[in-house]
């Protein structure tokens, strides 16, 4: 083991490429995306899109084109696309904007226990403001039961938010069916889906999905950090959350991040165009990993492999993988540093100790079979080593030895 790490450290020092297995946390910027952004960073498109003169018009042209491309890829109208500063802002605008925008119609919101914190904490804030909320439970695989969703809907329900793909475990909710179920009950209920993790691999056609709002983020798609978008179906009442100038049809104030919007549009276009090849590629790698590390994968994103090692904490595994030149995560990156076990895993009924031993592998388009072979070669040794060094395991082993001796 030690020899293995020493070899990896040496290889890293020699500039060997690291193996990155955390594409659900963020992705490297695709150089084709950066190239598309450059005219709006260092070229002629640097103006303020609200200005009427040449520099402003050039910037506005880039922003309009980006909006039209995103709209085409989502199968919606350009005016239905709001550019934001990222997935969290998209989620916040969707949840808070629709709840407050529909307040006179009702005060009840339905979401699930496994949403990203950008949705969960926004709903919790609404509860503090006098709204009522239902957090739907999920089954052991992380799926929402349609029956419990149906029973949760009341005459006061104005908003339902169900994530498309879970960021930790990669389960895919049947959004089209879920939205249809809600709309069948009452067309006026606004249906939102957080598609931040889905955008790379799944259909984002808002008509086929039947959703009223959909959130995406560029940096999960090999695009830049700091930019996202929210699709909002026309005539959906939405209260702006960021106030000031009349940008984005007065739904989101602030000078537009033109380069970012162009980056998002380009990243999304590449993702849609290369979706089939990217999915086939990560699925092949994932299936290889599966051969070495079995898990149940029904209705999971092809890029995701979420594992739990009993009696082992996730963090030391990550540290050892890192030393060996490999990057992976335990639970969501946004809660790193927190000692809480993942709210997603505990909602799935996994006990806290096991949840602490979770390992998330999120593959990406640039991963190679060599990366995966490296992981498969290193992981069993690392898990075994961490298990041996862990106080709780040692304690349990000693107890077991003591009780054996006592018998």
Single residue of 8, 89, 107, 168 touching a copy of itself by CB under 8 A = 89
190 binds a copy of itself (CB under 8 A): no
Q: Quick one: tokens of 47? A: 């103006």
313 binds a copy of itself (CB under 8 A): no
221 binds a copy of itself (CB under 8 A): no
Shortest spacing between CB 197 and a copy of itself, in angstroms? 13
318 binds a copy of itself (CB under 8 A): yes
| Torsion on CA atoms 55, 59, 64, 66, rounded to nearest 10 | 150
122 binds a copy of itself (CB under 8 A): yes
Single residue of 180, 290, 333, 376 touching a copy of itself by CB under 8 A = 333
Q: Find the DSSP H helices in 143-293.
A: 146-152, 175-185, 206-209, 247-250, 258-273, 275-292
Residue pair 170/301 in contact (Cβ under 8 Å)? The answer is yes
Shortest spacing between CB 112 and a copy of itself, in angstroms? 16
Residue pair 367/327 in contact (Cβ under 8 Å)? The answer is no
Comparing CB distances to a copy of itself, the nearer of 210 and 358 is 358
Shortest spacing between CB 223 and a copy of itself, in angstroms? 11
Q: Find the DSSP H helices in 302-351.
A: 314-323, 343-347
337 binds a copy of itself (CB under 8 A): yes
Residues near a copy of itself (CB under 8 A), total: 74
Query: Residue 131's CB: how many other CB atoms inside 10 A?
Result: 21
Single residue of 69, 80, 82, 86 touching a copy of itself by CB under 8 A = 86
Q: Find the DSSP H helices in 333-368.
A: 343-347, 352-356
248 binds a copy of itself (CB under 8 A): no
In this chain, which stretch among 50-58, 155-163, 305-313, 382-390 interacts with a copy of itself, using CB under 8 A?
50-58
336 binds a copy of itself (CB under 8 A): yes
334 is a catalytic site residue = yes
Catalytic option among 76, 308, 334, 372: 334
Single residue of 39, 50, 64, 132 touching a copy of itself by CB under 8 A = 50
Shortest spacing between CB 262 and a copy of itself, in angstroms? 11
Q: Quick one: tokens of 127? A: 């509860």
Comparing CB distances to a copy of itself, the nearer of 210 and 266 is 266
Residue pair 327/374 in contact (Cβ under 8 Å)? The answer is no
Q: How far is CA 295 from CA 151, 309, 326, 380, in A?
A: 32, 12, 21, 15
368 binds a copy of itself (CB under 8 A): no
Q: Quick one: tokens of 192? A: 């939102």
Q: Which of residues 16-45 bind a copy of itself (CB under 8 A)?
A: 18, 20, 22, 25-26, 28-29, 31, 34, 41-42
Q: How far is CA 25 from CA 167, 218, 315, 333, 335, in A?
A: 8, 12, 16, 6, 11
Q: Which residues are catalytic?
A: 334
């Amino acid at each position: 083991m030690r020899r293995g790490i020493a070899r990896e450290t040496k290889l890293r020092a020699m500039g060997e490429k690291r193996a990155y297995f955390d594409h659900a946390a963020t992705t490297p910027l695709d150089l084709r995306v950066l190239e598309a952004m450059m005219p709006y960073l260092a070229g002629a498109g640097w103006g303020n899109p609200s200005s009427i003169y040449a520099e402003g018009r050039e910037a506005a042209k880039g922003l309009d084109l980006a909006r039209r491309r995103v709209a085409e890829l989502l199968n919606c109208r350009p005016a239905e696309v709001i550019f934001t500063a990222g997935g969290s802002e998209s989620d916040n605008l969707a949840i808070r904007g629709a709840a407050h925008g529909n307040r006179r119609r009702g005060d009840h919101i339905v979401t699930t226990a496994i949403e990203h914190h950008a949705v969960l904490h926004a709903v919790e804030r609404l509860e503090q403001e006098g709204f009522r909320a239902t957090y739907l439970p999920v089954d052991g695989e992380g799926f929402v039961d349609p029956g419990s969703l149906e029973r949760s809907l009341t005459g006061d329900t104005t908003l339902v938010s169900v994530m498309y793909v879970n960021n930790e475990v990669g389960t895919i909710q049947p959004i089209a069916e879920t939205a249809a179920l809600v709309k069948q009950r009452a067309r006026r209920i606004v249906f939102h889906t957080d598609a931040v993790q889905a955008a790379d691999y799944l259909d984002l056609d808002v008509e086929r999905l039947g959703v009223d709002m959909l959130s995406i983020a560029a940096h999960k798609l090999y695009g830049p950090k700091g930019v996202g978008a929210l699709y909002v179906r026309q005539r959906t009442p939405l209260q702006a959350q960021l106030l000031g100038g009349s940008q984005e049809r007065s739904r989101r104030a602030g000078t537009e991040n033109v380069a970012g919007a162009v980056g998002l549009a380009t990243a999304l276009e590449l993702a849609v165009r290369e979706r089939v090849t990217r999915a086939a590629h990560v699925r092949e790698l994932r299936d290889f990993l599966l051969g070495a590390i079995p898990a149940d994968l029904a209705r999971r994103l092809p890029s995701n492999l979420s594992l739990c090692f009993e009696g082992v904490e996730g963090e030391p595994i990550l540290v050892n993988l890192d030393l060996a030149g490999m990057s992976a995560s335990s639970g969501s990156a946004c809660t790193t540093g927190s000692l809480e076990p993942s709210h997603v895993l505990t909602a799935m009924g996994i006990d806290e100790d096991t949840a602490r031993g979770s390992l998330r592998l999120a593959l990406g388009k640039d991963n190679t079979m060599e990366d995966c072979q490296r992981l498969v070669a290193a992981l069993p040794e690392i898990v075994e080593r961490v298990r041996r060094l862990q106080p709780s395991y040692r304690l349990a082993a000693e107890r077991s030895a003591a009780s054996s001796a006592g018998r």
